[in-house]
Chains A and B, each alone.
Chain A
Amino acid sequence: MNRKRTESLFIVSFITGTIIMLFCIYPLISTLFWTEPGVIFDTFKDKQVLQSIYLSMGAATITTIVAFILGVPFAYVLARKEFRFKSLVESIVDIPIVIPHPVAGICLLTVISPRSWTGQLMEKAGIEVLGTVAAIVLAMTFVSMPFLINAAKEAFKWVPPRMENVSRTLGASHTQTFFLITFSLAWRDILSGMILTWARAISEFGAVIILAYHPMIAPTVIYERFTAYGMMYAVPVAVILIILCLIMFIILRLLASTRREGESI
């Protein structure tokens, strides 16, 4: 009899994998079935809920664009150049990941509050940040930008520098080479980084409520309904947010994972 032998380590992997899958999916499914579909439908028509979801998605999208514009050129340098204190710079990029998010909010508040010189400067210039969409984007960018920078850095590292070298000798300038070769090869992984950034931004709560309780983003609405009225009012909003986020996530993932013919190096 020709029986395939399964390595015992894989059996352990299978068991732990099953636990992880259940751990990730079961709470989501449980939430989806917590209330009646009718209640969810009614919540969908709730103006406050809709506005908060639009705001969350909009702010997360702006955050991703800002992080992309600021982060991609910086990630390219981190991937390609060696310089003094590079590891210190890379550690600084990662700081927002390790500090608790309300703390991040407090830190940002010390910079934009009217008591700080930067806050005073903005006040004089007529720029209002506290309690505005700008504050939400600021908090979201602070906590989510490291994900984009790190993803872009890894994506650029994966592109062989020799390919850029050849492109230069063939007549393309450094900038042309970046857009035509480097970015063409790295964009899918950068897009994955953007998805992570967007997801991290939309899930941000701790830093945002310190800077802007109002206007309310979806997590703030959920939190407020939970503390004021309990689960029955919080869950429908949560369900809507889960569904919309999952749809967004799946679409972007599909986009990032479809490789064209010949795209492996």
Chain B
Amino acid sequence: MLELKNISLSLGDFKLDKFNLRVKEGEYFVLLGPTGTGKTVTLELIAGLYQPEEGEVYFNGARIDNLPPEKRQIGFVYQDYALFPFLTVDENIKFPLTYRRIHPKEIKQKCLETADMLGITHLLSRYPSALSGGEKQRTALARALVCSPRILLLDEPLSALDPSTRESLQEELKRIHSITGTTTIHISHDFKEALALADRIGVMQNGVLIQHGDPVEVFKYPASEFTASFLGSCNIFRGEAEGSCVKLSDNIQVFTLEQKHGRVSISIRPEDIIISKDPMSASARNSFSGVVTSIINQGPLFKIEADCGIGLTSLITGKAATEMKLAIGSEVWMTFKTTAVNVI
């Protein structure tokens, strides 16, 4: 297990203050957060590139924060790959092996095995400048994995890639993790990526880990407005709770499953809101009539915003939007279940 205990570090305006993180052995942990929140610094601290001013880092019970980076056996992959431009793919992958007492024959074999696992055997003689983004990232991964690191740190490994390459590399990361079982910490600001890959996720804000846990749980039950909005919940409201009813204004109330009292925030995921032309007769207790104010085509899905006294946003398929003949000004009903309401 990797454990960061009460880590404090300040770098200019940025600060990690009593930061704690636990990642289990063999786990794929995705650390989410907006830019400038300290995710990369956290990874660099784990790698030994920064020394904490206070606190300790443990790996499997042994303290490692006093070890230099080269003694930690940690693989690091940056978003911009950081391949050595004057070395070929082959030489890049072999680079870490030259620092270990390994027979040249074994070096060659390990390099080939890793290149094969990442499907870049045909690129071994090329220089990084002659590689595509995806190929560069595979090379960087191979270089980080060739020595079987104890921990693999990935700093936004997919964000510089085009969508189709990103998807295939995402699959690749999943496959590699299932083969190697390396404890992995992956930084991202894309919650879809986190959902697809993570065993557990953590959300960071201003140098603090504000929520962590099972991805689906965190996704469904964000513990703060920030997390809710960062994970794509665009329906966040504040109101006064009285049992299972939250009053948002004098004539707008939302029913919830949870019983609470006092000032609360609620979040509803846009995909949980159903749009219909007529009132729905189903069991959903939250149903509001309104007028469509915006329709945004997001490719496979349409983002529909409607003014129902409160602004509600829903995600529906393009087919549904066309069938309902939705246009700006259309009168609609926005309906969601009590179970879809997350009370913060």
Contact = CB atoms under 8 A, between A and B. Distances in A.
Given A170-B95, A181-B84, A165 B69 contact: yes
Interface stretch (B127-135, B162-170, B292-300, B326-334): B127-135
Contacts of B100: 171
Given A168-B70, A173-B70, A261 B127 contact: yes
A262 B130 contact: yes
A162 interface: yes
Contact of B85 (A165, A167, A172, A265): A265
Interface string A240-265: 00000000000000000000111111
Contacts of B68: 168, 173-174
Interface stretch (B56-64, B73-81, B106-114, B211-219): B73-81
A168 B49 contact: yes
A170 B99 contact: yes
Nearest to A174: B68
Contacts, number: 77
Contacts of A169: 47-49, 69-70, 72, 74-76, 144, 153
A185 interface: yes
B82 A163 contact: yes
Nearest to B153: A169
Contacts of B88: 262
A160 interface: yes
B49 A172 contact: no
B82 A263 contact: no
B99 A171 contact: yes
A264 B129 contact: yes
Given A165-B49, A171-B99, A260 B86 contact: yes
B96 A170 contact: yes
A168 B69 CA distance: 6
A136 to B, nearest CB: 38
A172 B99 contact: yes
A262 B136 CA distance: 13
Q: Which of A160, A167, A176, A181 has the most CB of B within 10 A?
A: A167
B200 interface: no
Contacts of A173: 68, 70
Given A166-B76, A168-B68, A171-B147, A264 B85 contact: yes
23 contacts: A162-B80, A165-B69, A165-B76, A166-B76, A167-B84, A168-B69, A168-B70, A169-B48, A169-B72, A169-B74, A169-B76, A170-B96, A170-B144, A170-B147, A171-B96, A184-B84, A184-B86, A185-B85, A260-B86, A262-B88, A262-B127, A262-B130, A263-B129
